[in-house]
Structure 1
Amino acid sequence: MPLINKKTFLEFLKCPVKGWMELNNPPKKVISLADKYRMEEGKEIGERARQLFPEGVLLEEKNSFIAEDITKCMFRDQSFNTIYEAAFIDSNFVTRADIIEETKEGLKVYEVKSSKSNTKQIKELIKDIAYTVMVIKSAGYNVNEASLILLSDKYRKGLSEQSLFELYDVFNEAHRFIDEFFSEKEKAVEILGSLEKPEPKFIYECRNCDYFKECFDMDRDKTIFVLHNKHHSQVKRLIEQERYLLKDIDVDELEKDVHRRIYRSLKENKLIVDDKRGLWEKLNNLEYPIGYLDFETVSTALPLYDDLGPYEKLPFQYSLHIKKSPDSPLKHLDYLFFDPSVDESKRLAETLAGDVEGIKTLIAYHDSFEKSVIKNIIERNGYDEQLKSVLTEMIDKFVDLEMLVKEHIYHPDFHGSFSIKKVLPALIPDFSYEGMKIKNGDDACYVFAKMARGDYSELEMEKIRKDLLEYCKLDTLAMVKIHEKLLELCSIF
C-alpha cells in the first residue's frame, strides 16, 4: 500500500471513507488562480521562516525512502544540526518536518504555518504537528520540543523580518492528540490498506464532502444538508435519528421560515415567494437615487503594502451602478488602483466619496462585508473630518439585498445557498458569470496581488485590468437585475 501521510491520516480520523479515497483514489483537483497564489505564498513563508534557523540545510530529495536515508546520514554527520524537510518513516506512515533541530536532549520539531498567531484554528494546527511528532517518535527518535511557527498578528510590512513570526510551544498540547493517534494507527493501516472502500456512514461532516454523491448515490438537495445554516446540533440530532432526507421530516418540525420555504420549494419543485406584500413594502420604501456597491479586497498572508498586517483586508477596487429613479437609465462608475505597486486606498476613498454624493440608498449583497470595508478604511487612514463624515454616513444607507432574498424567496436552483453566484442564474437564467476570465472574489484578490508584486508584464496587466473591471461591474449589475426581479415577483399580491 502507499505510505500514509499526514493529510490522509487526519482525514481518516474524521471519516475513514475520505481517508481511503485520498490514499487510493485521490480526486483530480482543478487548481484555481487563488489556490496557485496561496501555494506560492505558503512556499515563500516556509523559506522565510528558515531564516530564523540560518545554519539549516534543505533536504530537497522528493522520494520519501531516499529522503529518509539521507536524513539518517545527516543526523550521523555531526556537522548537520538543523535540517529543513527532514523525512521520517514509521512502517506505513511518513512525514516531512518543516524544521528539525538536533540537541543533546533530543529533537526540536518546528511546523511552519501560514496562519496568524491569533487563529481560531489552533486545534487543527496542533493536530498537524502532533502527527509529525508521532511518526518521528515511532521511527525511534526522541522529541523534546514541538513548536508552531505562525505569522505574528502584530507584524506590519516594513518591520524587521524577525517580527514576521511568533513561536508557540505546543509540546504538551500535541501529546494529548498523539496518544489518540497511536490508538488509531493499527485501525488506519487495516482500513486504508484494504482493497475495498469502507462502508460510508452518514455524518455531519458529509455536508460539504466531495465524495457525497459517490458514497450515498443521492442528491444533496434532497437531504437535510440543504437547509441553509441549520444549527449543527439540530442536524446531528436528525442524523442520530437516521432521518437524512427532507422527506423524512415534517415541515411543521422546522422552526425557521427560511427552512420551511426551502422545504416547500424543493417538495413542489418551484420558486416560492412568501409575503409578497411585505417584500413590496420593503422595496417601495427604498429612497432614490439608489447606488449598487461592491468592493473587491486583497488579503494576503504576506502584506503587500507598508503598515499592512497579515490577512488585513484592503479595498483595491469598487463598482457602483446608480439609478436616480425607478425609470432612469443606469449609470456606472468604478475605480481600480492605477498602480498596484502603490497603496491607493486613500485615493479610492476620496473617489468613492465623490461618486456616492446625493445617493440616498446603498444596496449591497451581504452588506456586512461592504460596511466592514468602509469601517476599516476609516480606521486605517488619517483622513480629514469631512471625508470621514461622508464615509461614516454611507454605512447607515445600506440595504442588504441578500436578506431580502433570504426572507422571502427560494428557488430549487439555489441548492441550499443564497450566494449571488447561485441566486443570479436561478432568478435570471440568461445572466451568469459563465465565460468570465475572473469568476469570483477569491481569484480577483489573488490576481490583483500578483499585479501588486509585479508578476505580470505590462501587456498582461492591461488585459487583467479589463478582466477585473468587467468582473466587478457584473457584480453590481447582478444586484440591479435581482432588484428588478424582486419588484417583478411582488408586483401582484
Structure 2
Amino acid sequence: MSFPISKTYFLAGLHCPKRLWLSICRPEDASPMSLAAEQRIKQGRAIGVAARESFKNGILVDGTLKHCLEKSWELTMVGAGGGVECLFEPAFLYDDILVRCDVLRRLPSGNWEIIEVKSATKLKDEHIADLTLQHYVLEGLGLTVEKTSLMVVNPMARNWSVVRDRFCYQDVTAAVVRWRQQLPQKLDEFRNLLTESTAPQVPIGSHCDRPYRCPFKDTCWRNVPPISILDIPLLKQDKLQQLMESNIWNLEDIPADFSLTQKQRAFIDRMIEGKPRVDHDLLQRLLAQIQPHQPLYFFDVETHSGAIPRFAGLHPYERCTFQYSCHRLNPDGSLEHFEYLHMEDSDPRLPLLISLLHHIGDRGSVVVYSQSFEKGVLQQLAAAYPSYGNKINQIIDRLWDLQVVFKKAYFHPGFQGSYSLKKVLPVMVPHLSYSNLTIKSGDEAPLVWEALLECTVPDEQKQMAQQLREYCCLDTLGMVEIYRVLERELRGD
C-alpha cells in the first residue's frame, strides 16, 4: 500500500467492505458531505477539547499529519521522561496503520492507558474496535498498554461548567482483549480487499443508512427502482436478502408464493395497482375527533440539541425549542399565521413558550404531524417551567395527529410507503413542495439556527432567519392544505 490504513478507514471496513474500497479507491464517488455530517465532526472535536479539561499535566500534540508522523513517537518519549501525565491527540504509525489517540495517559506503574472520547452517551461495538486498533499499534511500537478506557458524555449532566460531571468513564480493557483475537484476520481481509481492481459485491440494505447515511449510498443505489422491495414495510433482512440474491427488485416481480405478511402483501398489491385507496368511514371518524365550531390550530416546532448544552439548565442532547409556526383556521374559513424564531444567543424556551401561550388560545384542537414529537417537546417545557405546566398540559390534551390519517385511512402510491410529511404533502397538495426551499428537512433547521447565532454579518443573519421561517411555515401551511383536501374528499368535491 502507498499509504496507511487509518482508524476511519478501518471502521468504514467494519461497517461495509465496499465502503472501505470506495473510500480509498474511488473517493470521488462520495456524495458531498451533508450539514448534519459536518455538524457531527464539529461536535466530536468540541467534545474532545472539553474532555481534556478532565486531565492535569497534559500536552496537546498538535500540527499537521506530516508533523505527527515524524514527531509523535519522539514527543511521546519526551513526555514520558519529563513527567507529563498524558498526551492529547498523539499519532502513531505501525504496520502501515495510522492511529491518533484522544488521550494517552501514563499510569503510576509507568505503563499506559488509552482513553477514547466519544460524543455518544453509551458504549457501542465500534468503540471497542476503535480502541483495539489503537492498542495493537501502540503495543507494536513497544509501549505497554495496561488499560483501555472509554469516556462518553454523561446524559444527566445538568451543569456543563462542572468538569467532573461531564463524562462517564468506563474500563473496557477486557472487551478490547477479546476483540484483539479477530483483529489480525480483519486486517488481512481489508488489505487483500484493497489489492482488488474492482469493488466487492455487498448487498445494499438498511445498513446503508445506519447509524448514518453512507456517503456512497447514491453510488450503490443508482440502479434501484424508485419503488422497490426496499420499500416493503417491516420486511426482515433475511427476506430482503432472498429477493436481492434472486435479482428481484420490482414489486411486480415478487413470486406469488413468496412468504410475506398479510399487510406486506396488501402494500405490494396496492402499489402495483397504483391507485389511491381511502377508507371514508374511518376518515370520517378520525376527523370527527376534532373539536367542532372552534378555531383549529396547526402547530410545528423546531428544536436544537447537542452533546454540549448551549445554555445553562440543559443536559446533553436535551431538546431546546427555538422556533414554532402556528396557523389558525377559524370557523369562518379565514386563516391566520403566528410564529416565533429566537434570534439571540440565549435560552429561547421561555420567550417562545410565552409567545405560544399567547397565540394558541384555550379552545380548539391543535393539529400536529407525528404527535409524539410535539407532545414530548411540550412535556419538556412543562417540566422546565412548572408554573406554566397546567396551560401546557391543556394544549397537550388538545393535540390531534394528522399523520394517523395516512397510517390508517388514506393510501396513495405516491407516498412510496412512507407516512412522512415530506412524502405526503407533494402528493396531496402538488403546488406546495420543499424542493424550492434552502432548508429541506428538520435535521437541517437546527444547524442553520446555530449558524445564525454565530453569524456576525447582519444580512446573512436575515437570510438564514428567512430560510428558517419559510421552512417551519410550510410545515404548518402544508397541514392546513392537507386538512382541506381531506374535507373535500369526505364531501365528494
> What band does the TM-score fall into relative to the shorter chain?
0.7 to 0.9
> What residue in structure 1 maps to residue 117 of structure 2?
112
> What's the CA shift string for 1:270-310, capped at 9, x where partnerless?
34224233223322442242111001111121112111111
Select the residue among 201, 205, 222 that pairs with 1:199.
201
The answer to whether residue 45 in structure 2 is matched with residue 39 in structure 1 is no
Matches within 5 A, 1:185-196: 185-196=187-198
Q: Distance in 1 between matches of 2:40 and 2:167?
A: 18
Q: Distance in 2 between matches of 1:127 and 1:61?
A: 26
Q: CA deviation at 1:318?
A: 0.9
Q: CA deviation at 1:20?
A: 1.0
Deviates further, 412-421 or 314-323: 412-421
TM-score normalized by the length of structure 1: 0.87
Matches within 5 A, 1:402-481: 402-452=403-453, 454-481=454-481
In structure 2, relative to structure 1, the CA distance for the partners of 1:92 and 1:261 (3 Å cut) is farther
Question: Which structure 1 residue ranges, 5 or more long, are not aligned?
Answer: none
> What residue in structure 2 maps to residue 373 of structure 1?
377
The answer to whether residue 148 in structure 2 is matched with residue 146 in structure 1 is yes
Matches within 5 A, 1:77-476: 77=78, 78-79=81-82, 82-103=86-107, 104-116=109-121, 119=122, 122-157=124-159, 159-201=161-203, 205-206=207-208, 211=216, 214-215=219-220, 218-219=223-224, 221-228=226-233, 230=234, 234-240=236-242, 242=245, 244-245=248-249, 246=251, 247-250=253-256, 253-255=259-261, 257=263, 259-260=264-265, 262-268=267-273, 270-287=274-291, 288-325=294-331, 328-337=333-342, 340-383=344-387, 387-452=388-453, 454-476=454-476
In structure 2, relative to structure 1, the CA distance for the partners of 1:353 and 1:482 (3 Å cut) is same
Contact 2:111–2:145, Cα closer than 8 Å, also in 1: yes
Question: Which structure 2 residue ranges, 5 or more long, are not aligned?
Answer: none
TM-score normalized by the length of structure 2: 0.87
In structure 2, relative to structure 1, the CA distance for the partners of 1:352 and 1:33 (3 Å cut) is same
Q: CA deviation at 1:374?
A: 0.6
Contact 2:151–2:168, Cα closer than 8 Å, also in 1: yes
Amino acid at match of 1:11: A
Q: CA deviation at 1:352?
A: 1.7
The answer to whether residue 7 in structure 2 is matched with residue 6 in structure 1 is yes
Report the 3-state secondary structure (helix = DSSP H, G, I; strand = E; otherwise coil) of the residue aligned with 1:441.
coil
Contact 1:3–1:92, Cα closer than 8 Å, also in 2: yes
In structure 2, relative to structure 1, the CA distance for the partners of 1:31 and 1:200 (3 Å cut) is closer
Report the 3-state secondary structure (helix = DSSP H, G, I; strand = E; otherwise coil) of the residue aligned with 2:189.
helix
> What residue in structure 1 maps to residue 483 of structure 2?
483
Contact 2:30–2:215, Cα closer than 8 Å, also in 1: no
Q: How many pairs are equivalent?
A: 478
Report the 3-state secondary structure (helix = DSSP H, G, I; strand = E; otherwise coil) of the residue aligned with 2:328.
strand
Select the residue among 29, 32, 35 that pairs with 1:30.
32
Amino acid at match of 2:344: P
Q: Distance in 1 between matches of 2:488 and 2:266?
A: 19
In structure 2, relative to structure 1, the CA distance for the partners of 1:322 and 1:184 (3 Å cut) is same
Q: CA deviation at 1:313?
A: 0.6
Q: CA deviation at 1:106?
A: 2.4
Report the 3-state secondary structure (helix = DSSP H, G, I; strand = E; otherwise coil) of the residue aligned with 2:5.
coil
Contact 2:304–2:320, Cα closer than 8 Å, also in 1: yes
Q: Distance in 2 between matches of 1:212 and 1:44?
A: 28
Amino acid at match of 1:248: I
Amino acid at match of 2:133: Y
The answer to whether residue 56 in structure 2 is matched with residue 51 in structure 1 is no
Q: Distance in 2 between matches of 1:253 and 1:490?
A: 36
Q: Distance in 1 between matches of 2:462 and 2:423?
A: 30
CA RMSD of aligned residues (A): 2.8
Amino acid at match of 1:95: V
Q: Distance in 2 between matches of 1:456 and 1:32?
A: 23
Contact 1:203–1:236, Cα closer than 8 Å, also in 2: no
In structure 2, relative to structure 1, the CA distance for the partners of 1:249 and 1:348 (3 Å cut) is farther
Q: CA deviation at 1:123?
A: 2.8
Q: Distance in 2 between matches of 1:213 and 1:141?
A: 43
Contact 1:296–1:472, Cα closer than 8 Å, also in 2: yes
In structure 2, relative to structure 1, the CA distance for the partners of 1:411 and 1:105 (3 Å cut) is farther
Report the 3-state secondary structure (helix = DSSP H, G, I; strand = E; otherwise coil) of the residue aligned with 2:400.
strand
Q: Distance in 2 between matches of 1:39 and 1:15?
A: 20
Contact 1:100–1:109, Cα closer than 8 Å, also in 2: yes
Q: Distance in 1 between matches of 2:89 and 2:478?
A: 47
Deviates further, 327-336 or 482-491: 482-491
> What's the CA shift string for 1:118-156, capped at 9, x where partnerless?
x3x533333322232233334443211111122222322
In structure 2, relative to structure 1, the CA distance for the partners of 1:220 and 1:176 (3 Å cut) is farther
Deviates further, 179-188 or 133-142: 133-142
Q: CA deviation at 1:412?
A: 4.0
In structure 2, relative to structure 1, the CA distance for the partners of 1:91 and 1:366 (3 Å cut) is same
Deviates further, 197-206 or 469-478: 197-206
Amino acid at match of 1:481: E
Q: CA deviation at 1:450?
A: 3.9
